[in-house]
Structures are given as C-alpha cells and as structure tokens.
A and B are shown apart, each in its own frame.
Chain A
Amino acid sequence: MAAVSISNLTKSYGELVAVDDVTIEIRDGEIYGLLGPNGAGKTTTIKVLMGLLDPDSGSTKVFGIDSREDPIEVKKLVGYVPEEQQLYESLTPRELFDFIASVRELPEEKTNGRIKEMVKALDFGRYYDSMIVTLSQGNKQKTMLVAALLHRPKLLILDEPFSGLDVRTAKVMKDIVRIHTENGGSVLLSTHIMEIAEGLCDRVGIIDDGELVAVGTLDELRRKSQREGATLEKVFLALTEQEDEVEEGVDTLREALRD
C-alpha cells in the first residue's frame, strides 16, 4: 500500500489556485522530496494531506485512510513538522512533551526511553526545562522534531526542516530521516535546499504555480530537463523555467553592488 496517495488534488483560495490537479504517490519506505519555489503550493498540499484544509476536488490518503474523512486517524500515523514554528512559547519542552504524549495516549515507559535517546542524540538536555520562547531557532526545530517522533509515526512529514540548524543538528536530522526509513517508515520532505534533496531523497516531485511539473529520481529529472550531469539546482531551475529570470536578477544585483 502507498504511504501517501494524492489524486487530482485542487485547492483554491478565492481566485488563486494554490494546487491545481496534483497527483502524487509516495511508496512505503521511500523518502520523497517535494521541491518548489515560494508559493508553489507545497504547504497547501501538505495541509490538505494532514486534514487541516478541505480540498476543492480530488482526494488525499495516508496508508489508505482518507484525510478528509478521518483526519484523526491520519494524524495518529503521521509525525508532522510544519514550516512555521508556532509552538507553545510559554511551555518548556518537558511540558510540551508531557502534553503531546498525553494527547496521543502513549505508554509512559516506552516514551521515556525514546525521549531520553532522542534528547541525547540532539544534545538537547540542557534546554529541556527552559521556556520555549527563550530557545534558539535550531533548538525550537529540535523540539518540533522530537515532538513529531514521539509516537513512532509511520509517515514523517517535514516542511522545510533544515532552516536554522547548526551543522551537527542538520547531520543528526538527516540521519534521523534515513534511520526512520530503514525502520520501515516513509518520509515526505518539503525543502528549498537542493543539496539536501539531492543527498537524501529517493524521488523528487517538483511543484510550480500549483502544478506538478516533474516527478522522478534525480537521473530521470536530468533526462527530462536535458541537463545531463547537472546538479538538482540546475535541473530544478530548468524544469521550473526560472534560469533566465535568476540570471537577470543576478545581473541587476551585480550592477547595484558595483561602486
């Protein structure tokens, strides 16, 4: 069974069509990268998948469960790290994890063992009883990650998870994604960072202006964009037809920065 299956999804905000007839299938055990410029429709797609938004048409399923019909069951299977870190700023990570584990009705002993290991791996012990508002961006991101992994989700959805992370945490984070799939889990990763998508993802879907432009492994995308041997960044710019635009922007900037 597919971990995620999105069929002909369309979602509009008034006149703006944020997601236009998108179809995506993520295989069980796969790391799938969703790439796209700002406002391309990545986060809207994820929100519909999580049951946070209702689609105009089409359907989204997680392990066969319809997000619209049973969002609670979907959320039980998913660990979600959204792009915006709107945490409970006045709580400490300890209080937040108490809350999440209680809502998810997790077994205390197992959860404690799991949390100890994650906190140690992320070097997070010193901040465990500090108010979240006082944490750095990277430590907030670690808090989100631990929160998403507490219940051993079958599917991990990470929306721009690498922004603001130090080298050690970014490395640990990438390893966590890999370990998660090695243990049979699946990952949907939305990112702007091409190196990470290139090094981590089994397959990549490129979304632009709400439409899915291309799907495949890096080699398949290179062939499609006719950029043999190119980096994912070049492939991405070619497929989203942004090469000329970016070149022009850089030229303008060069002029502006000249004495």
Chain B
Amino acid sequence: MNFSERWCLAGIIAREVSFQGYLEMNPTNIARVKENPDRIGRSLRRSSQIRAFMTGFIIIFLASITVATVGFDSSLVNPASRLAFGVSVFLGMSFVVVLFLNLTSSTGLFTSGVMRLPATLPLDRRDLENLSVLVFVRVFITPAILILTVFPILCLFVFGVLTALAALLACAATVVFSIGALVYIAKWFYVKSHMADDSRSSGAIRVLASLGLAAGMIFVFGIGGFLPQILDFIVSASANIPAEMLGFMAVFFPFSLGFLVSTATYAVSFQLPTILISLGASTLYSLFAIVSYKRTGRSLRALAGGGISTTKLRPIQEASVNITSPLRSMIRKDLKLASRNLGSAMVFAIPMFLLIMMYPMIHGWATNDGFVRSMTALVATEYANLFAGMAIISLMLFDTQGASIQAGLPLRSILTLRTKAAIAMVPYVASMVLIATICALYPLISPVVLLIPLVQIPCGYAIALAVGGGIYRAKGQGRAVSINIAFEPGMAFFAAAVASVIGVIPLVGYGLAMIVTGSHLVSIIVQALVLIPELLLIRSQIPRLLKD
C-alpha cells in the first residue's frame, strides 16, 4: 500500500475518530445519530470546521500578539527579557490550546472499534500500525503545522534567521510535548470515564477531571480577550525578577526554550549561568521530546491491536440493589451520568463561565464608582438567572440516554422536572455565592448589597420549574422530553427568555422599592416578599402544564 492510499484510508478513519469523539462528548448525539444521521453528520462537519478555524485563529492571534508585543513595545523592560518571556508565553499557550481544543477528538481514537474495519482488509500488522499513526497525524496536522510555521516565520521577519531557527526548535519541542500529553490525557480520560468502581474517590476524580477539562476549554476559547493583558502582565513582571530567579526559571519548560530563543537573538543579555542552564534544559527537553515522540508512536501503534477495550471480566459480584426514594434515585442517576460525560459535566462549569464574564464587569464598575452599588449586584444576579435557564436545558440533555428505561417506568413528569430543578440548584447557589463573594472584594455602598444574590437563591427553583415545565409543554405536550441545544436552538432562547423574566421579577421589586424609599433594607425585604408568592405560584401552576 503506497503513501497516498494510506493517507486516503487514514482520512476515512480520522473521520470515524472525530465521530466517536463527538458522540463521547455529547450523550444527546448517541440517541440522535440513529434518528437523524444526516443532521448529526452536518453538525459534526460544522463542529470540525469550527474547531479547525478556532485553532487556526487562536494560534495566529497568539503568534501575532506575541511578536508584536515583544518586537515593538519598547515600553516593556529590556528586549531580551521581553523576547524570552513572550516566547515562553506563546509556547505555554500553544501547549494549552493543542491540548484542550483536541481532547474530545482524541478520546475517539481510543475506542476499541476505530481500527476494526482496516483490520479486516489485506493489511499486515506494520501497515496497520503506520495507519494508526497517520490517522493521528491527519487529526492534528492543522494545529501542528500552524504552530511550526506561523511563529517562526513572524520571528524571521522581525528578529532574523537565528531567532526563527531557535523558535522553530522550541515550537517543534512544544508540539511534540503537547501531542504526547494529549495522547496520554485522552487515554487516561477515556479509561476513567468508562470505568465503574464503587470508590467515591474515583467518582470525584471523574468530576474533577471533567470540570478541569471544561475550565480548560473555557480558558482556551476566552484566551483572545485576555491574551494582551496576560502577555503584558508577565513581560512587565519579568522586569522585577532577580537574575538568580531567572536562572531558576530557565530550568523549566517553556521558559528554558524562551531563554534559548532570546539568547539566539541577543547573545549575552542574561548572566552566563542562566544561558548555560537554558541551553542544558533545552537540550534535555529536546531529548524528552524525542522520547515522548517515540512513546506516542508506540501508544498509537498499539491502537492497531483494537484500541483500549474497557470491557473486562470482573469477579462475580454480589447482585443486590440499594433502594432509596424515587426523587433521590433520579438525582443520584443524573449526577452519575453527569460525572461520566464531559458534555454533561459542563452544567457544573456554569459558575465558572459566570465568573469569567462577571468579574471584569464588576471590577470595572466598582473601580469607576469607588464601591459596589446595588445596581451592580442586580445586573450580575440577572445574568446568573439567564445562565440558570441554560443549566436546566443542559440537564434535559441527560434524558436522551435511557429512553428504553424511561418508556417502561411509572415516572411522573413532575418528578422528572423536580429532579432537574433540584440539580439545577447546585450551579445556581454556587453562582449566587460567587456573585456575593466578588462583590465583597470591593467596598460596598451598603452591606445589604451582598444579600441581593443570596436572597435570590430560592428563585433558582422557580426558574428551573418554569423553564422545564414550559419546555415539556411546548415540545412534549406536557410529557418529559429531552433537549439537544445543537438541534433546538429555539429552546435555548426560550429557556433564556423565561429564566430572565422569572428571575428579574424579585429584582425589579428591589429596584422599585429603592426608587420609592431609598432604603436598601426595605428593598431587600421587598425582593423577598415578591419572590415568595412567585415561587409558590409557579410551584402550584407548573404541574398543570404537565402530562404523564
């Protein structure tokens, strides 16, 4: 089999890898793929295109901003430190981008079935192993090529040939490291997310891993907004770092490579020990990169034998059941599903999204006014209400699994809805506590301002019941249904609109009372007084919309 044939076949398998990763990422897709495969296919293509575009955009943006800052911003310390830290930031960020943007596609690589088809073709084991490596190359070729070309080329134009060559070496080591780390973490996550044991620590690891990955993705997608500030902060901070500390930093990746590129450009701008340490560490990292490359190759070649099978024969277990109340069992089931799937775990990352969005806003308002006003807390709380609508939609995503079980169970729709509402309270309470905490970081116009999000907490239950009940009514004529935001964007708008309206009513109560009385204390009491009947009304009326 010649290279072009292998490349072609690798393309087909790479599509399957992306497909498997896509299904792993979002449980809704598993159910929908049979129902509407064309739509899933289109959604997958769109998602791949967006990922490729985002990867390209982020890497080009990272490289351009880095080179512009270190090459032309003369207000920042000396040029050698500027270049060393700028390159280090670029390499560190590239590592993170490659890792998090491609993690979901890589999990597909480890499903047992990916190499099943080629194994039936007249290919020997070596061909199959080479094919596994080529599949990986096809999946990750875009970010790798971009990192290896864009930054060194920009360095060539701004700093010259030697810097470009050193940058190429540093980028090559980073690409190899990030791909090695990616394969390792994807494999680990795949095994963890398909493993079931009774230990609580294993469950906690799964949840933390999912949340860590969710946070990483949020960071990567939000990187564009913060990058100039991050770069500016790190490069400025480097001016105050003592020379001995620079020598210590030169030991670690990616600083050793950053110092190497800077030394290649400005020769003796650092103390000799720092230069020697960076040279030594860079050589060591290059050797590590070669080892990592070989290990990654071995891992990938092992796929030819059928990937990682998570089917293992266990000793015969005591067959028993642990019975609890229907509501608790529903919550327990949903939490287990959430902790074992990256897409579902996103619901618990909602406070993180809110933090990333709200902190700069609250910081800006508090800095301008000199203190946090009630209006700041009211606006932040209303944003959290909007996010709460999205949370309940994310929870409805779980029900695309288990349709066969739900079809046969005497489950009342209101019980399903109450389950979702109870779980949705977790991110809602966290969001409100987070808003109060951020507000508490600044001087307050009145301590009562901190109570605005805290008094609002019961409204999370009302929002969840109203949004969920409305969706069940609109989409399932009152029966409990599942939602896929990708296919039903209208439902997301509906959820956001209902959540905003339900959530804003007590806040409007606060605002009006403030206008009329000017007292924060009276206003917070009015907020609570409006909230209580609203909650009771929703609690009594929503079941009327439902049908079993």
Assembly CA distance A75 to B479 (angstroms): 15
Task: Confirm or deny: B515 has a beta carbon within 8 angstroms of a beta carbon on chain A.
Answer: no
Instruction: List B351-406 residues whose CB lies under 8 Å from chain A.
Output: 401-405
Task: Confirm or deny: B1 has a beta carbon within 8 angstroms of a beta carbon on chain A.
Answer: no
The residue that B412 contacts in the complex, of A72, A100, A128, A134, with Cβ under 8 A, is A72
Residues of B near A120 (CB, < 8 A) are: 319
Q: List 10 A-B contacts (CB under 8 A).
A: A72-B411, A82-B408, A84-B403, A85-B404, A88-B402, A88-B405, A102-B326, A106-B321, A112-B321, A134-B194
Residues of A near B407 (CB, < 8 A) are: 47, 50, 52, 80, 82
The residue that A98 contacts in the complex, of B195, B321, B477, B548, with Cβ under 8 A, is B321
Task: Confirm or deny: B325 has a beta carbon within 8 angstroms of a beta carbon on chain A.
Answer: yes
Instruction: List B288-344 residues whose CB lies under 8 Å from chain A.
Output: 309-317, 319-326, 328-330, 332-333, 336-337, 340-341
Centre residue among A84, A87, A95 by max chain B CB count within 10 A:
A95
Residues of A near B196 (CB, < 8 A) are: 91-92, 95, 129-131
Contact present for B411 and A103 (CB under 8 Å): yes
Assembly CA distance A136 to B313 (angstroms): 12
Task: Confirm or deny: B272 has a beta carbon within 8 angstroms of a beta carbon on chain A.
Answer: no
Contact present for A89 and B319 (CB under 8 Å): no
Residues of A near B324 (CB, < 8 A) are: 98, 102
Contact present for A87 and B404 (CB under 8 Å): yes
The smallest beta-carbon distance between A77 and chain B, in angstroms, is 9
Centre residue among A71, A88, A97 by max chain B CB count within 10 A:
A88
Instruction: List A67-125 residues whose CB lies under 8 Å from chain B.
Output: 71-73, 75-76, 78-82, 84-92, 94-108, 111-112, 115-116, 119-120, 124-125
CB-based nearest A residue for B193: A90
The smallest beta-carbon distance between B116 and chain A, in angstroms, is 14
Task: Confirm or deny: B245 has a beta carbon within 8 angstroms of a beta carbon on chain A.
Answer: no
The residue that A129 contacts in the complex, of B34, B314, B337, with Cβ under 8 A, is B314
Residues of B near A87 (CB, < 8 A) are: 401-402, 404-405
Contact present for B321 and A135 (CB under 8 Å): no
The smallest beta-carbon distance between A137 and chain B, in angstroms, is 12
The residue that B410 contacts in the complex, of A76, A82, A130, with Cβ under 8 A, is A76
Assembly CA distance A90 to B400 (angstroms): 12
Contact present for A99 and B332 (CB under 8 Å): yes
In the complex with contacts A100-B409, A102-B329, A89-B310 CB distance below 8 A: no
Assembly CA distance A126 to B404 (angstroms): 23
Contact present for B402 and A129 (CB under 8 Å): no
In the complex with contacts A129-B197, A134-B310, A101-B321 CB distance below 8 A: yes
Assembly CA distance A34 to B76 (angstroms): 80
Task: Confirm or deny: B455 has a beta carbon within 8 angstroms of a beta carbon on chain A.
Answer: no
Residues of A near B5 (CB, < 8 A) are: none
The smallest beta-carbon distance between A80 and chain B, in angstroms, is 3
CB-based nearest A residue for B309: A134
Residues of B near A72 (CB, < 8 A) are: 410-412, 548
Centre residue among A54, A124, A134, A136 by max chain B CB count within 10 A:
A134
Assembly CA distance A49 to B291 (angstroms): 63
Closest 6 CB pairs of A and B: A102-B329, A80-B408, A125-B316, A86-B403, A90-B340, A75-B410
The smallest beta-carbon distance between B187 and chain A, in angstroms, is 16
Centre residue among A76, A86, A87 by max chain B CB count within 10 A:
A86
Task: Confirm or deny: A148 has a beta carbon within 8 angstroms of a beta carbon on chain B.
Answer: yes
Task: Confirm or deny: B30 has a beta carbon within 8 angstroms of a beta carbon on chain A.
Answer: yes
The smallest beta-carbon distance between A179 and chain B, in angstroms, is 19
Residues of A near B411 (CB, < 8 A) are: 72, 75, 103
The smallest beta-carbon distance between B326 and chain A, in angstroms, is 5
Total interface residues on A, CB under 8 Å, equals: 60
Contact with B along A201-225 (1 / 0, CB 8 A): 0000000000000000000000000
Task: Confirm or deny: A51 has a beta carbon within 8 angstroms of a beta carbon on chain B.
Answer: yes
Task: Confirm or deny: A31 has a beta carbon within 8 angstroms of a beta carbon on chain B.
Answer: no
Task: Confirm or deny: A250 has a beta carbon within 8 angstroms of a beta carbon on chain B.
Answer: no
Contact present for B321 and A97 (CB under 8 Å): yes
Contact present for B410 and A86 (CB under 8 Å): no
Contact present for B408 and A129 (CB under 8 Å): no
Residues on A lying within 8 angstroms of B by beta carbon are 47, 50-52, 54, 71-73, 75-76, 78-82, 84-92, 94-108, 111-112, 115-116, 119-120, 124-131, 133-136, 144, 147-148
Task: Confirm or deny: B198 has a beta carbon within 8 angstroms of a beta carbon on chain A.
Answer: yes
The smallest beta-carbon distance between B80 and chain A, in angstroms, is 52
Contact present for B405 and A96 (CB under 8 Å): yes
The residue that A128 contacts in the complex, of B195, B317, B403, with Cβ under 8 A, is B317
Assembly CA distance A105 to B31 (angstroms): 28
Residues of B near A92 (CB, < 8 A) are: 196
In the complex with contacts A75-B410, A104-B409, A108-B323, A90-B316 CB distance below 8 A: no
The smallest beta-carbon distance between B479 and chain A, in angstroms, is 8
Assembly CA distance A12 to B367 (angstroms): 63
Assembly CA distance A237 to B403 (angstroms): 33
The residue that B323 contacts in the complex, of A54, A94, A106, A144, with Cβ under 8 A, is A106
Assembly CA distance A88 to B193 (angstroms): 14
Contact present for B321 and A103 (CB under 8 Å): no
In the complex with contacts A103-B330, A127-B314, A148-B408 CB distance below 8 A: yes
The smallest beta-carbon distance between A101 and chain B, in angstroms, is 5
The residue that B329 contacts in the complex, of A51, A99, A107, with Cβ under 8 A, is A99
Residues of A near B323 (CB, < 8 A) are: 98, 101-102, 105-108, 111
Contact present for B410 and A103 (CB under 8 Å): yes
Assembly CA distance A116 to B336 (angstroms): 24
Residues of B near A71 (CB, < 8 A) are: 410, 548
Contact present for A126 and B321 (CB under 8 Å): no
Residues of B near A144 (CB, < 8 A) are: 404
CB-based nearest B residue for A72: B410
The smallest beta-carbon distance between A145 and chain B, in angstroms, is 11
The smallest beta-carbon distance between A147 and chain B, in angstroms, is 6
The residue that B404 contacts in the complex, of A86, A102, A112, with Cβ under 8 A, is A86
In the complex with contacts A131-B196, A135-B311, A98-B404 CB distance below 8 A: no
Residues of A near B325 (CB, < 8 A) are: 102
Assembly CA distance A81 to B409 (angstroms): 11
Residues of B near A90 (CB, < 8 A) are: 27, 193, 336-337, 340-341, 401
Residues of B near A104 (CB, < 8 A) are: 409-410
Contact present for A86 and B31 (CB under 8 Å): yes
Contact present for A98 and B401 (CB under 8 Å): no
CB-based nearest A residue for B319: A119
Contact present for A100 and B405 (CB under 8 Å): yes
Assembly CA distance A79 to B407 (angstroms): 10
In the complex with contacts A101-B321, A103-B329, A108-B323, A126-B405 CB distance below 8 A: no
Residues of A near B315 (CB, < 8 A) are: 126
Residues of A near B409 (CB, < 8 A) are: 75, 100, 103-104
